[in-house]
């Protein structure tokens, strides 16, 4: 049996696999291009929040970028030091702000003046000083999918430069706020270095202006968004990426913070699914598999492309097909119009680049159990999340029958 088929046999399908050695490799490559400066790589937890993945990140020296208190708690539980945890997001509840402050994390990324006021009131109540960073929206088009573009004024994220300035001045004069950082995150799956360069230039100038007002920014956070190769897209050369940020920073003495999600885990993950049947409707070929949109929603949600491979069928003739799941939606597909060899019941399809926004976006739609997750490390495999059972899925409802 081939490698993926053997794993599918051991753990069942559908299944997520993460290659921890590749994650290590990607982390080191990024850390390496930043080595001329102090840097902190904070993994975007929303892309893959499995505790064992986070523990691996902790082991590598990464911090975490979190967008809910649940993610902050995951990061702490997995051993990420509190001084490497950032809490971002446009809509933090009071109780989330309070818990983040009690946990004394590195900083809260603020996205509005209203939010800053809430943080100030809560910090005052707790008798602590809240370290904050402000997410500035540089109004730059990253030329990616509109759903994953976040750096334009028409998006809900961040504040414009003038508001940011007002916020920094307010924070500096507040006894309960300490403005330590500045942040941008312009979108996801970005494959061109220029939007990063433009955003870094705009924010570095703001840092210089703030310096003149005696507001000393210590953390320069360039967000996430580094794209990976799903199909044939060119990706960013990490060296150019780092150099363009360094060029923007010039002589500023700041710690560079980067929050990659997809870059660190995206192409280190595989989604394994088993062929149930082949079906022909008129002239159209469908490959029906046991994985579905509830397990991997990116194709349905973003029309994202994921390459699909079959082991052990090399050299067989291929033909066009759609790979679809059992969910009752026409939008339930993993691939459209791709070439695959003739397939049989129980053949294993390997859906590639599925390590980011795969499992974390999965759901129980159609009362399908969320799948198992497995780590590959040093030539060995181990379960890091067991497959859900029917009992797990109904547990929170059963008592009300």
Residue stretches of the annotated binding site for pyridoxal 5'-phosphate = 225, 259-262, 357
**Euclidean distance between CA atoms 235 and 230, whole angstroms:** 10
Say if residues 360 and 325 touch (Cβ distance below 8 Å): no
Q: Site for ligand PLP (CB under 6 A): which residue of 111, 259, 290, 295?
A: 259
Residue 188 binds to ligand PLP (criterion: CB under 6 A): yes
Residues 210-239 contacting ligand PLP, CB under 6 A: 223-226
Beta-strand pair 308-310/348-351: antiparallel
Look at residues 43, 56, 60, 35 and name the one whose alpha carbon lies nearest to residue 266.
Answer: 43
Residue 291 binds to ligand PLP (criterion: CB under 6 A): no
Residue 325 binds to ligand PLP (criterion: CB under 6 A): no
Q: Site for ligand PLP (CB under 6 A): which residue of 30, 44, 105, 321?
A: 44
The contact mask relative to ligand PLP for 368-387 (x = CB under 6 A, - = no) is --------------------
* Of 167-175, 254-262, 321-329, 364-372: span binding ligand PLP (CB under 6 A): 254-262
**Euclidean distance between CA atoms 326 and 241, whole angstroms:** 42
The contacts of residue 25 (CB under 8 Å, 6+ apart) are: none
Smallest distance, Å, CB 52 to ligand PLP? Answer: 19
- Known binding residues are 225, 259-262, 298, 302, 329, 357
Smallest distance, Å, CB 133 to ligand PLP? Answer: 10
Q: Which two tokens stand for residue 255?
A: 């710690």
The contact mask relative to ligand PLP for 62-101 (x = CB under 6 A, - = no) is ---x-x--------------------x-------------
Among residues 192 and 388, whose Cβ is nearest to ligand PLP?
A: 192
> Considering just the CA atoms, what is the radius of gyration of the chain in Å?
23
Look at residues 303, 297, 359 and name the one whose alpha carbon lies nearest to residue 327.
Answer: 297
The contact mask relative to ligand PLP for 147-186 (x = CB under 6 A, - = no) is --------------------------------------x-
- Largest pairwise CA distance in the chain: 71
Query: CA angle 387-390-395, nearest 5°?
Result: 105
**Beta strand segments in 20-97, E:** 39-44, 63-66, 85-87
Count of CB atoms situated within 10 Å of the CB of 303: 12
Tell me, yes or no, if 328 is annotated catalytic: yes
**Euclidean distance between CA atoms 45 and 176, whole angstroms:** 28
Q: Site for ligand PLP (CB under 6 A): which residue of 260, 291, 299, 358?
A: 260
Would you give the distance in Å from CA 391 to the centre of its chain? 29
Among residues 7 and 217, whose Cβ is nearest to ligand PLP?
A: 217
Which are the catalytic amino acids?
328
Sites of contact with ligand PLP (CB under 6 A): 44, 46-47, 65, 67, 88, 185, 188, 223-226, 259-263, 356
């Amino acid at each position: 049996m081939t490698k993926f088929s053997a794993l599918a046999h051991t753990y069942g399908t559908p299944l997520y696999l993460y290659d921890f050695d590749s994650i290590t490799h990607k982390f080191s490559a990024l850390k390496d291009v930043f080595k001329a400066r102090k840097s902190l790589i904070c993994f975007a937890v929303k892309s893959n929040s499995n505790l064992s993945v986070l523990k691996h990140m902790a082991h590598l020296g990464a911090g975490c970028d979190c967008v809910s208190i649940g993610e902050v708690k995951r990061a702490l539980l997995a051993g990420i030091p509190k001084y490497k945890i950032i809490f971002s997001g446009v809509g933090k509840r009071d109780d989330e702000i309070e818990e983040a402050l009690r946990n004394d994390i590195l900083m809260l990324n603020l996205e509005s003046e209203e939010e800053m006021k809430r943080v100030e009131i809560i910090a005052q109540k707790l008798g602590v000083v809240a370290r904050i960073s402000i997410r500035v929206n540089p109004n730059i088009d990253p030329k990616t999918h509109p759903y994953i573009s976040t750096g334009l004024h028409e998006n809900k994220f961040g504040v414009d430069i003038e508001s940011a300035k007002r916020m920094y001045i307010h924070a500096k004069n507040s006894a309960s706020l300490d403005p330590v950082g500045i942040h941008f995150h312009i979108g996801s799956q970005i494959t061109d270095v220029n939007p990063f360069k433009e955003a870094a230039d705009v924010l570095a100038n703001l840092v210089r202006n703030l310096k003149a007002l005696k507001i000393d920014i210590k953390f320069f956070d360039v967000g996430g968004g580094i794209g990976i190769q799903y199909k044939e897209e060119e990706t960013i050369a990490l060296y150019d990426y780092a150099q363009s940020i360094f060029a923007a920073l010039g002589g500023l003495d700041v710690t560079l913070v980067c929050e990659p999600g997809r870059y660190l885990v995206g192409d280190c993950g595989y989604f394994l699914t088993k062929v149930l049947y082949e079906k022909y409707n008129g002239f159209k070929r469908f490959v029906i598999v046991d994985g579905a949109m509830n397990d991997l929603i990116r194709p349905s949600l973003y029309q994202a492309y994921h390459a699909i491979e079959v082991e052990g069928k090399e050299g067989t003739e291929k033909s066009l097909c759609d790979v679809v799941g059992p969910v009752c939606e026409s939008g339930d597909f993993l691939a459209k119009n791709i070439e695959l060899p003739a397939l049989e019941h129980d053949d294993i399809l390997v859906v590639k680049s599925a390590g980011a926004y795969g499992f974390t976006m999965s759901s129980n739609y159609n009362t399908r159990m969320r799948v198992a997750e497995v780590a590959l490390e040093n030539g060995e495999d181990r379960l890091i999340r067991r497959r859900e059972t029917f009992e797990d899925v109904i547990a929170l409802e059963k008592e009300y029958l």
